Each structure stands twice: as structure tokens, then as C-alpha cells.
Structure 1
Amino acid sequence: MRNALVVRGGWEGHQPVEATELFIPFLEDNDFSVRVSDATSVYAESSYLATVDLIVQCVTMSTIEKDELQGLIGAVAGGAGFAGWHGGICDSFRASSDYLQLVGGQFATHAARLPPDERTGDMSDNYVGHRVNVVAGEHPIMAGISDFDLHTEQYWVLSDDYNDVLATTTTATRPWGEWSRPITAPAVWTRQWGRGRVFVCTPGHRVEVLEDGNVRTIVERGLLWAAR
């Protein structure tokens, strides 16, 4: 059996417990022994991390200690996979540039569907219909998946060209917005870091999005692809 570490916490709006529980049976069915941690302090356990084949993170925002971050980066560089979805991986530890370099993309915004004076302050202010466009259909994570539509938060992320982008999404202009043309950003990507693989899927705001057939398939395949 391989070892998987699930690290969860941060902002509760992303349902870190419920979301990760959705995938733990899948990992177990694929011969992973799963350990769950509700704190990033586990990243400082260097002897344990050396035995981990896959790290699944769902920690939105929050902070991370220097020794914890060094442990995480060292584990991935040494061959452990690092995988996650939505803000649990690409909106974590905003103050750490080293973490952002590891992941390859940082959440910038999810453009609201309503002008400022019509928003209620609820999460649904940011739920918009949008398309996820597959750009690497030959990749094993995306095989057989065509472009698909979602109605949820649409992530505008800042990224670099070291990523291998598997799917994109394009944020439309807004009459009240400051951007004057549509913006295309990665929606699913992978990244090689040392001997380790990184997998990111930006859809996954809450459990109901992760249960979408396309999103769930992409995440499950991504977890297996990233693992050592």
C-alpha cells in the first residue's frame, strides 16, 4: 500500500472536512493508507513525510510556519505528489511566495455576477455560469472529457508558464468591471517539482461542485496521477 496524507482546515466555507471525506474512500479503494491531519504542523514531521506518496491539501487561506513549509516543499521535491482543488490548494498561505512557486497559481478573484449595489454578501453573489475548456485531451487526467459547463465560482488565477495546463476558463467582462477584455486562466494544471508532481483543479468550491461527474473524475484521476 502507498501512503496518502490528507491535510485540511482553513476557511470553513469550502467545507474542508466534507470535501476531503468525499475522496478518502476512493483513495482507500486504490490501495492507499490514509492519514488525516487537521493542522499543517504535520508537514514538519520529516521522518513521516519521507514515507508519504501523496499529499492532498484542502486548506484555504490560513498561514504556515517556516519549518512546515520547508517540510512540504522538501517532500514534494523528493517525490511525494501534491494535489488539491479550488482554494484549498491555490488560495493557501497567501503570504508565502515559496508556496506560490510550488503550486504555480494563485487565486486572484472570482468576478461577481451582479454589480456592487445589488450583491447580498452571500457566496452566491459569485456563482456564474461558465465553461471549462479542455486543452489537453490527450492527458490521462482529461482523457474522454469534453468541454463542460458549471454554475459556481469561476477562478481567475495568476500563473506562470511552467505549468502544464490541461483546461482553461475565460472570465467575461463585466459592465462595472475594470478589465476591458475577457481573461483566460488555467482551470486544471499539473506541475513537476523536483521528483514530485503537483495537480491543481480550480473547480471545487463546495461538495456539490466536486460531485459533478466531470469535476470528480478530474480530481480522482489527478490524485492518482500525482502520487509517487
Structure 2
Amino acid sequence: MSSRKALIVRGGWEGHHPVESTDAFVPFLEANDFEVTIEESTAVYADVETMGSTDLILQCMTMSEIGPEEFTGLRNAVARGTGLAGWHGGIADSFRNTSDYLQLVGGQFATHPSGEPGQLAGDETDNFLRHTIEITDLGKSHEITAGIEDFELETEQYWVLHDDLIDVLATTTHPARGYQPWHRPVHSPAVWTRQWADGRIFVATPGHSLDVLENPNVRRIIERGLLWSSRAVA
């Protein structure tokens, strides 16, 4: 019998493949002694009994909306020790109109810069930039990112608005290119954690597509983040 319960909540914008991407982590969770339940909407967050028995929430819900009772249920569950984890827009670009959710997570997607004008194809690859995920000094010793070296990706590079209650394990740098309006490099968190009362929150910004989630470094970080954020086994 599984000793922990994981709840996958998925939906929102289909461009982030919420079904396929979360399905890819179900075997990992089950192998780590989680009983996995999957919900296709945020309505479950308002279910006090379910949330009270959930040890980990894996959320993949890009944009969309969340009702007041649903958000209250989510926030209360996290405060009582339920872990909240996710990647890319599934957690860092959810519920834009709910400011309390943005405070809970600690970082909000602002943009993903595009390539150089005149060299754009007119599809999603216009926003795929070669960039480096740089492990911070904290990240080098943290159990989620320890032993992982800086690595490169060619995918969306998230620019994140954030506060200083997050613990940043990795960053990425947006250079000041001549065709962009900013005038100096901008350093943005790429992987972070957050303590919220008794709950742990984990966010990784890489994860736009399945191939990114299959990158060994990204996959390892997310797997470790899921385990780290889960409520500890009594």
C-alpha cells in the first residue's frame, strides 16, 4: 500500500501538453510510493477532505482561472504541509488574475523574449533561444540541484517577476541584445523553492515541451523537486 498521496491537477492552455507531460511523471511518483490521483480541473482544491489527505500537488495548469473557494483550499492545504510543485507555465503562469496565487508561488511569468527580427519563422520556435541554466551557490548544495552543472537549453527562456522570499537554486540571464529595449543583462530565477507555513513549493521554469522535460538535467531537477516538496513521511 502506498504511503503517500500525490494529486495531479492539469489543464489550461493545451500548448504545454498538460496531459502528456504529467503522464510522463506518473511512473516516477508511483515508484516512489505515491498513490496518484489525476484531476482535470481545479475544482478538487475546494474539497477539504481530499486536500487534507494529499501530500503532494503536481500542478500543470497554464493560464486559466481559479475560483475563490478553490484557491483558499489550495493555499490552506499548502500552509498545512501539502507540497506544491510544477514546471514552466503550469505553475509559474497560472491564474494571472488571482494575485494571492502569485504571492503563494513567489514568481510569475512575464515574457519569453523572441529571436532577432528578420530571422523569425512565424511559429513557436521564434521564442526558442539558446540559453544557460546556471546553478547558484545555494543550488550547488541543495538536494534538488546538487551535483548538476550549468547546462544549456534551446527553448523558451522565461523572464520571471519575483520576490525575495524564494530560494533561488538556478538562474538564467537575458542578454541585452541590440534589438531588445532593455540596456543591461537581466538575471531571472529558473529554479526556486519557497516555504509557505508548513508547506514547500518547488518551481522549475524549463518545461515548455516534452523534449525539454526529457532533458536529463531538467528531468532530474523536477524529480528531485517533487520529492523535496512533498509532505515528509511521518
Aligned counterpart, 2:56: 54
Equivalent in the alignment of 1:191: 194
Scaled by the length of structure 2, the TM-score of the pair is 0.95
Aligned to 2:97: 95
Task: Determine helix, strand or coil for the equivalent of 2:103.
Answer: helix
Partner of 1:131: 132
The answer to whether 1:142 aligns with 2:145 is: yes
Structure 2 gap ranges (5+)? none
Provide the residue aligned with 2:179 in structure 1. Answer: 176
> What is the CA-CA distance between 1:118 and the residue it aligns to?
4.7
Instruction: Look up the equivalent residue of 1:223 and give its one-letter code.
Output: L
Deviation at 1:91, TM superposition (A): 0.3
Q: Distance in 2 between matches of 1:93 and 1:174?
A: 31
Match of 1:68? 70
Q: Secondary structure at the match of 1:205?
A: coil
After TM superposition, which residue ranges in structure 1, 4 or more long, deviate above 4 angstroms? none
How far apart in 2 are the matches of 1:139 and 1:193?
A: 18
Using the aligned pairs only, state the percent identity.
59
* RMSD, aligned CA: 0.8
Letter in structure 2 aligned against 1:183: V
Separation in structure 1 between the aligned mates of residue 26 and residue 96 of structure 2, nearest angstrom: 27
The structural deviation recorded for 1:172 is 1.2
CA deviations 1:42-70 (Å, max 9, x no partner) are 10101110000000000000000000000
Given candidates 16, 36, 39, the residue that maps to 1:37 is 39
Tell me, in whole angstroms, the C-alpha distance in 1 between the residues paired with 2:202 and 2:178: 34
Shift of residue 121, structure 1, vs aligned partner = 3.2
Residues in 2 aligned to 1:191 and 1:22: alpha-carbon distance in whole angstroms = 25
Q: Aligned to 1:219, what secondary structure does the other structure show? A: helix
Q: What secondary structure does 1:137 align onto?
A: helix
Question: 1:176 deviation in Å?
Answer: 2.0
Number of equivalenced pairs:
227
Partners of 2:73 and 2:119 in 1: CA distance = 45
